[in-house]
């Protein structure tokens, strides 16, 4: 498939973070872009403002007329969809039965990224942060890079970066549905390989085989950069360079002397195969972000960035929406919003909050994501959430899944070893939070808990103002 030959693209599920980046790519390339999504969001509103035609009804009559008709019209339109779209969706049904060329999002991303030098970031967690920091570091260099991000980078207020003079493509390599096997990168970064998506792989061993297959697709004379200790089999690849990174041990890229600087932000040194870079200031908090930054440093230095690019890029990095997103930080009230939806992500997030706000009460509001993930990891979720002082647990966000008998949030709730814990529905949250004594509050999850951040912010601001008026 030749991208240059495509003039009209229709996206089914255009509001997804990965889909919207590709939709933006075609839109800025001068193509006609339209799409469908279930509900309007802030992101779909921006896509419409950028000139894309979006409908929120799956009736085929809502599709713009010149995208329909089949026959000759079908040859002019590329239809892109995600595995999350149910096959009984009427728009999906229309295009799939009317002779249109249809591709999965991951396949199209592969076609775009494989055409240049691809830096693909894989891992069960950490992908978005490493991908975004890497892209930001490369944007400090000439001629920059192109990037398809799994979150909205605050430095650019976008999930798409375009540098027309660059052949570098920084992309997320998603293990779900084995999507990362569409990529043939020059550099592969593997951040983590904790068990996840067992509904797809069937077993952890099969998931590892999937990651090894991804690493096997790195191009000859390419590079694999992996976190120290991940169970990736790199021994068979004698034709690529393998580098490790981490916060301890004998990693090739090693962060050390990590300390908390002004505003709770990390300062650290990094040891590289070419020497040490000292006193790096990172613009976002958390030891886990230091580790993410080390992976990005390894990739950027091997793509032409120099020490000063690294220093400037790390200091100016402003983070990603919903990744340790500090929404309120005033005396007596803190609100942090985070996408954490895997036990290890929760553990890292809560640990970082403990380090930045020691001796303060931490209340976590968690929305589990997927029935299968809740079923498979209820014990691990409970252990991670047990590091909180107080837990508010919401109902499971099902995403693409149908309910499973006996699988509810109660599976996690009953295993959490906390005295202060409650369960509630998402819509009850503002009222319940208003009656609680809170200090540091975390909203956690990958579902639609993000829609509650503004209502929660208002409750916390009002409580804070009331408390100050009383004193």
For 209-232, the pLDDT digits (tens) are: 999 999 999 999 999 999 999 999
Of the candidate CATH numbers 1.10.150.530, 3.40.190.80, 3.40.720.10, 3.40.50.720, the domain formed by 3-105 belongs to 3.40.50.720
Domain spans, the chain: 3-105, 114-316, 325-470
* Long-range contacts, stretch 214-218, CB < 8 angstroms, 24+ apart: 214/120, 214/122, 214/173, 214/175, 214/180, 214/181, 214/183, 214/188, 214/190, 215/188, 215/190, 217/181, 217/183, 217/184, 217/185, 217/188, 218/184, 218/185, 218/186, 218/187, 218/188
Q: What per-residue confidence (pLDDT) applies to 2?
A: 74
Structure tokens at 184: 């043939």
Q: If pLDDT is split at 50, 70 and 90, which confidence band does 235 have?
A: confident
Res 288 pLDDT > 80:
yes
Instruction: Report pLDDT digits (tens) over 141-157.
Output: 999 999 999 999 999 99
The set of residues, in sequence order, having a beta carbon less than 8 Å from that of 72 and lying 6+ positions away, is: none
Question: Between 469 and 127, whose confidence is greater?
Answer: 127
Separation of CA 333 from chain center: 26
Residue 34: helix, strand or coil by DSSP? strand
Contact 444, 336 (CB under 8 A): no
Assigned fold of 114-316: 3.40.1190
Q: What is the pTM of this model?
A: 0.92
The set of residues, in sequence order, having a beta carbon less than 8 Å from that of 172 and lying 6+ positions away, is: 18, 120, 121, 122, 127, 128, 131, 148, 149, 150
Contact 169, 110 (CB under 8 A): no
E runs forming strands in 62-167: 77-81, 101-104, 117-122, 146-153, 158-161
Contact 359, 288 (CB under 8 A): no
- CA distance linking residue 239 with residue 197, whole number of Å: 30
| Residues pairing with 362 in the sheet | 440
CATH code reported for the domain at 325-470 = 3.90.190.20
74-88, 118-132, 302-316, 370-384: range with lowest mean pLDDT: 74-88
Instruction: Report pLDDT digits (tens) over 160-179.
Output: 999 999 999 999 999 999 99
What is the mean pLDDT of the segment spanning 118-135?
97
In which element (H, E) is residue 347 found? helix 343-356
Q: If pLDDT is split at 50, 70 and 90, which confidence band does 1 have?
A: low
What is the mean pLDDT of the segment spanning 63-91?
90
């Amino acid at each position: 498939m030749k991208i240059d030959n495509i003039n009209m693209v229709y996206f089914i599920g255009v509001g997804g973070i990965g889909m919207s980046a590709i939709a933006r790519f075609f839109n800025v390339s001068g193509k006609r872009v339209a799409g469908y999504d279930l509900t309007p969001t802030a992101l779909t509103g921006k896509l419409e403002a950028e000139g894309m035609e979006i409908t929120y009804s799956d009736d085929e009559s809502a599709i713009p007329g010149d995208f329909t008709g089949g026959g000759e019209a079908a040859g002019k339109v590329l239809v892109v969809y995600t595995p999350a779209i149910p096959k009984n969706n009427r728009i999906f049904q229309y295009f799939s039965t009317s002779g249109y060329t249809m591709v999965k999002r991951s396949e199209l991303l592969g076609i775009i990224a494989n055409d240049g030098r691809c830096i693909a970031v894989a891992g069960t967690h950490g992908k978005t942060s490493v991908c975004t920091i890497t892209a930001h570091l490369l944007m400090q260099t000439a001629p920059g890079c192109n990037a398809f991000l799994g979150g909205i980078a605050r430095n650019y207020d976008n999930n798409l970066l375009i540098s027309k003079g660059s052949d570098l493509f920084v992309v997320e390599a998603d293990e779900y549905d084995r999507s990362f096997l569409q990529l043939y990168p020059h550099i592969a970064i593997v951040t983590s390989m904790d068990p996840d998506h067992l509904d797809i792989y069937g077993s952890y061993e099969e998931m590892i085989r999937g990651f090894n297959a991804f690493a096997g697709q790195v191009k000859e004379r390419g590079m694999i950069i992996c976190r120290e200790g991940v169970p990736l089999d790199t021994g068979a690849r004698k034709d690529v360079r393998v580098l490790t990174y981490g916060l301890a041990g004998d990693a090739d890229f090693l962060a050390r002397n990590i300390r908390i600087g002004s505003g709770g932000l990390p300062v650290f040194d990094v040891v590289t195969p070419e020497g040490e870079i000292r006193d790096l200031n990172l613009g976002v908090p958390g030891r886990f972000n230091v580790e993410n930054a080390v992976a990005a440093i390894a990739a950027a230095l091997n793509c032409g960035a120099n020490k000063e690019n690294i220093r400037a890029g790390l200091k100016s990095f402003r983070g990603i929406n919903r990744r340790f997103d500090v929404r309120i930080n005033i005396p007596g009230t803190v609100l942090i919003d985070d996408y954490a939806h895997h036990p290890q992500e929760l553990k890292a997030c809560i640990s970082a909050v403990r380090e930045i706000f020691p001796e303060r009460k931490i209340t976590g509001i968690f929305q589990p994501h997927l029935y299968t993930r809740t079923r498979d990891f209820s014990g691990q979720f409970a252990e991670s959430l047990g590091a909180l002082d107080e837990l508010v647990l919401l109902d499971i966000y099902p995403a693409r899944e149908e309910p499973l008998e006996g699988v509810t949030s109660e599976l996690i709730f009953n295993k959490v070893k906390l005295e202060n814990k409650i369960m509630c529905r998402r819509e009850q949250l503002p009222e319940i939070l208003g009656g609680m004594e809170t200090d540091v509050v975390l909203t956690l999850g990958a579902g639609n808990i993000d829609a509650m951040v503004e209502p929660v912010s208002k409750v916390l601001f009002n409580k804070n103002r009331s408390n100050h008026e009383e004193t």
